[in-house]
Structure 1
């Protein structure tokens, strides 16, 4: 018995903050890194890349923008991302335009949105004139407007999609803006993984969905629309699924559909994972049943700190029973829960409820948690007033 208790205690201490949760990853770039960080904290990861990155050296749009920029003087250059600015320099070298581009930018005021962009600017042999503590495009824009931009030629390095609020404001203030599409996003070559991820969200198998770029968020919504399931996806993301973005810009396409999202203070993958790890446990249901502490996570239950995986149908019943602990729910009521969970109206009966309750009891492996009330239904074994 002592050995068993010691083994259980060790198991409990090893349960990560994301254990029992399934997290969807829509990222293309650095998806493996993000997935590894999530799995290290106990999550089950489903990956459906929502975008594909066009290789820089093969991007005719970037080449055309670069040669067009070199046709005249450059007064200001805005570096929005480190990987984008560095990629721009490397692509220019490949085209034989590296020396000319560096010379043009040397005479310009270089503004770096954040530390990574600043590092890329310095790696190119340039020195930034301004970099905001907030790492926000809005503060870069405010700085430019304060300095005055009328008559100036400004190169704005994009980060995967247009920045109309930023560039249009500069144009209205009198600037000539040259947009530099340093890396371009397109739809994934194989949409099937993303479609499967969307289906998993709709079937209740995903507890949190992560986005590391605004194009990925937009592409996910566009794909759901093409599947004829946009309304269902938006409803799931508004009500059941925790949506986590790497930053406010990434969350933009979601906000346009009134989908609530959370994001960390710093737009970093590691910070995203930490923010998710801190946030999702606050959504768990906790209840004391038959002297045991139960914490209902996405796809599992912690019983006195020990993780017990629970299949979707039994978990749906447990959530219904936990909504009003101690209250008896009839078999007919619980059959309705299973019907809503499965989406099947005619094949769920009271026998299916008995089967699901049996599976729930087996998964929890704790006698007496779910009580049968003769001729009435089932309840959680909590004291009633």
Structure 2
């Protein structure tokens, strides 16, 4: 099985948020990293556009709201919460048709309990968003008033297409990116590219490309930079970033199989040296000539570039190299950090799914929790918003139910649907996949859930993968059990407080009406049934009435 390694290649990354992580990954794959921060997140000078959107949303002026990023959802709510009641805003959003680009905005909206009407799978560009809107809404789109949450910079193509299709289009800028305060490291990186000191360039967002070429234009070397980049290995994280690179006349060599940092670095380590050798042989660069001085390859201008950039195939055997860059202890540390956070259980479980997908390059991942005698889907890698918290599997049903019943892991490398334990679920198209790995989530020897990984193509799970997932299952099991006990404690506390309140209300009725305790309880019970209120609510009303009488007398 191929081992992923840069074998000493000089690798440039313009990552800002996760600079340390990407540097560590490049070193883990024997690369020589140059990580230069290319942007900083800055607040908008004015939030008037977002506040105006809130006013118009409450006035019922929008039919469709498009969310392009998960961060954008959070930032928008932060801004709107400064001027409006958040729950009122959310109630209005729940009445609209919501369009989300990819799983991140879906996850953010799900946390806010805002249902999503149209979702694109990732990686996706504005074209996929538009195509699905056309498919979902058809001719009705021409009558819709649409708002678009922007993600750092305006997408003129998307806005132009929406203007042609819709009654009105409103842009909602909620955050933006600026150049770093100190651009000297970026300038130095540009010089290193042009001097031929860089072998591989990783572009993880479109803004990285925009800022790199902006600085190059200010330096007066934009064309030299483009020529230099065309002679090294250029990797784009996905279609949106690829489009921006094509805009500058630069054709990426490939996109990773998953638009994630870990997959990108791993697959760059696998294929970069081979791609670099081929490009150097094709261009026959003299060793004494810098990349910037070399002649550009034929048909390298933007208008002739192909828009179809090859993507590394999913579920290939070479993906096993991904394990080499993430040591088991590092992965367990990530899991432990997620579990130790104070976030809600849903958020924690979603993060665990992300960590699991980093260990095994799967095409889908489901995390079920055992509640009474049913396994309930609580987290998913793929967007199954309508199934989360609703899909239930009986213990013993299908491979997942079998694992819960027997407390044993199951690894099926191919033809999973032919296994005698297999049971299809019509709402989950992943059940047509070839390979599967299921492990029980345990706490104190008791099953509290199941982790289910699936692959579109045959996949032979290693012993290390199985053991690491089993360990994660134990960690997650402890967190699920803690959450269950916490819920039970809250319920017990609520029942205790209710009992105290009911007893107090009974005492008031006994005193005022000169009746027995049993008669007072039956009277409250009758009132509860007639008014369709809980006993606690009836008791609360009696106690409140008593308090008001006492206040009036004093």
Residue in structure 2 matching 1:38, options 26, 45, 55: 26
- Deviation digits for residues 112-158 of structure 1, max 9, x if unmatched? 21112211110111111121235423222122223131221212122
**Pairing 1:275-294 to 2, within 5 Å after superposition:** 275-283=267-275, 285=277
Task: Report the 3-state secondary structure (helix = DSSP H, G, I; strand = E; otherwise coil) of the residue aligned with 1:250.
Answer: helix
- Deviation digits for residues 289-326 of structure 1, max 9, x if unmatched? xxxxxxxxxxxxxxxxxxxxxxxxxxxxxx99xx89xx
Structure 1 residue 87, shift from structure 2 partner:
2.5
- Cα pair distance change 1:342/1:24, threshold 3 Å: closer
Structure 1 residue 278, shift from structure 2 partner:
2.6
More helix as a share of residues: 2
Q: Distance in 2 between matches of 1:216 and 1:188?
A: 11
- 1:60 lines up with 2:47 in the alignment: yes
Structure 1 residue 184, shift from structure 2 partner:
0.5
In structure 1, the partner of 2:194 is: 202
- 1:211 lines up with 2:203 in the alignment: yes
In structure 2, the partner of 1:254 is: 245
Structure 1 residue 183, shift from structure 2 partner:
1.9
Q: Which structure would you say has the larger Rg? A: 2
Q: Distance in 2 between matches of 1:128 and 1:193?
A: 42
Structure 1 residue 108, shift from structure 2 partner:
0.6
> Which runs of no fewer than 5 residues in structure 1 stay unpaired?
1-14, 287-318, 325-335, 344-385
Structure 1 residue 265, shift from structure 2 partner:
3.8
In structure 1, the partner of 2:128 is: 139
Q: Distance in 1 between matches of 2:185 and 2:206?
A: 19
In structure 2, the partner of 1:29 is: 17
Higher relative contact order (CA 8 A, sep 6+): 1
- 1:163 lines up with 2:155 in the alignment: yes
Task: Report the 3-state secondary structure (helix = DSSP H, G, I; strand = E; otherwise coil) of the residue aligned with 1:127.
Answer: coil
**Pairing 1:1-385 to 2, within 5 Å after superposition:** 17-55=5-43, 60=47, 63-64=50-51, 66-67=53-54, 69-70=56-57, 72-73=59-60, 74-136=62-124, 137-146=126-135, 147=137, 148-239=140-231, 241-261=232-252, 262-283=254-275, 285=277, 337-338=287-288, 340-341=289-290
Q: Is the 8 A contact 1:224 1:233 kept in 2?
A: yes
- Deviation digits for residues 236-284 of structure 1, max 9, x if unmatched? 0112x21112111112232123211122243222222233123203135
If the length of structure 2 is used for normalisation, what is the TM-score? 0.47
- Deviation digits for residues 27-70 of structure 1, max 9, x if unmatched? 222233322222222222212222221137x7535544544543
Q: Is the 8 A contact 1:19 1:42 kept in 2?
A: yes
Q: Is the 8 A contact 1:155 1:178 kept in 2?
A: yes
Q: Is the 8 A contact 2:123 2:238 kept in 1?
A: no
Task: Report the 3-state secondary structure (helix = DSSP H, G, I; strand = E; otherwise coil) of the residue aligned with 2:241.
Answer: coil
Q: Is the 8 A contact 1:22 1:46 kept in 2?
A: yes
Q: Distance in 2 between matches of 1:26 and 1:125?
A: 35
Structure 1 residues 86-95 or 154-163, which shifts more? Answer: 86-95
Runs of 4+ in structure 1 deviating by more than 4 angstroms, as ranges, are 94-97
Q: Is the 8 A contact 1:26 1:47 kept in 2?
A: yes
If the length of structure 1 is used for normalisation, what is the TM-score? 0.66
Task: Report the 3-state secondary structure (helix = DSSP H, G, I; strand = E; otherwise coil) of the residue aligned with 2:120.
Answer: coil
Q: Distance in 2 between matches of 1:250 and 1:61?
A: 29
Q: Is the 8 A contact 2:54 2:80 kept in 1?
A: no
Structure 1 residue 171, shift from structure 2 partner:
1.3
